[in-house]
Amino acid sequence: MDLGVKGKKAIILGGSRGMGWYTGELLRREGAEVAFCARGADGVKAAADKLQAIGPGTVYGAAANLENGEETRQFCRDAIAALGGCDMLIHNASGFDMAGGEEGWMRSFQVDMMAGVRAVEECQAALEQSDAASITFIGSMASKYYFGRSSSYGPAKGAMRVYANELAQKFGRKGIRANAISPGAVWFPGGSWDKRKKEMPDFYASVEKSIPLGRLGTGEELARVIAFVASPAACWINAAHIVVDGGQVAAVD
């Protein structure tokens, strides 16, 4: 299938590793131009070099702390300038709070929610100029299922889903789609589940066993879904919550 992203411009919040990285890599292989940010300058440079090596077209990487509102806005402004526009805005970053303290709640609010709000505000004008505009939020199955811990992670991802629907309703008439994708457990090198696999092999094995397909998802598999939903090939998907968990959560949304 041709995703229709050749020459399109994608801005990814959180793209130097994990699902954001795999998504950027896939979009580049499909001919898109990509801008992304992450906190570590060294990781950004390494990722940008790899993405640029894939082929012609602009790649822009910048270090940005998405807890900081002005850094988030500046990255988006710089990304739009570097790419010459924006067709796909993908918010993949997270505060990853698992403890539930006030500091974690504030980090989740700033990174998971407000970074998305600020990015949308900065990218709106550019998206309105696109003939294939989309906004895609990467959430989590923790937004609809209790996994035995209380933290800000799930509630923040739930708020992202509500916000995505509001954007879809508001901006649909301007030709801008908005959707939320909720992954289940995903393994990739250096990720949180890679760490659990090494440090808690019995727990990791129990999670694998609980998934009907018998394994965790991979970064590449999630990237295919994210790239498709963000792309012109999914032009009739709007205001949707898309679950990508291999059947891990035995519930109806």
pLDDT in tens for each of the 253 residues of the chain?
899 999 999 999 999 999 999 999 999 999 999 999 999 999 999 999 999 999 999 999 999 999 999 999 999 999 999 999 999 999 999 998 888 899 999 999 999 999 999 999 999 999 999 999 999 999 999 898 887 777 899 999 999 999 999 999 999 999 999 999 999 999 999 888 999 999 999 999 999 999 999 999 999 999 999 999 999 999 999 999 999 999 998 887 7
- Closest alpha carbon to 168 in 144, 130, 133, 139: 133
Judge whether 167 lies within some domain: yes
Q: How many domains does the chain have?
A: 1
Judge whether 102 lies within some domain: yes
Residue 119 buriedness (CB in 10 A; 0-12 / 13-18 / 19+):
buried
**Structure confidence at residue 1 (pLDDT):** 85
Judge whether 122 lies within some domain: yes
CATH classification at residue 126: 3.40.50.720
Q: Collect all residues with Cβ–Cβ distance below 8 Å to 190 and sequence separation of at least 6.
A: 17, 18
**0.85 cut: is pTM over it?**
yes
**Structure confidence at residue 57 (pLDDT):** 97
Please state the length of the chain. Answer: 253
Judge whether 175 lies within some domain: yes
Strands 241-244 and 176-183 turn out to be: parallel
- Closest alpha carbon to 9 in 105, 81, 109: 81
Judge whether 192 lies within some domain: no
Task: Check if the beta carbon of residue 188 is closer than 8 Å to that of residue 218.
Answer: yes
**Structure confidence at residue 235 (pLDDT):** 97
Judge whether 249 lies within some domain: no
Judge whether 213 lies within some domain: no
Domain that holds residue 66: 9-186+218-244
Judge whether 195 lies within some domain: no
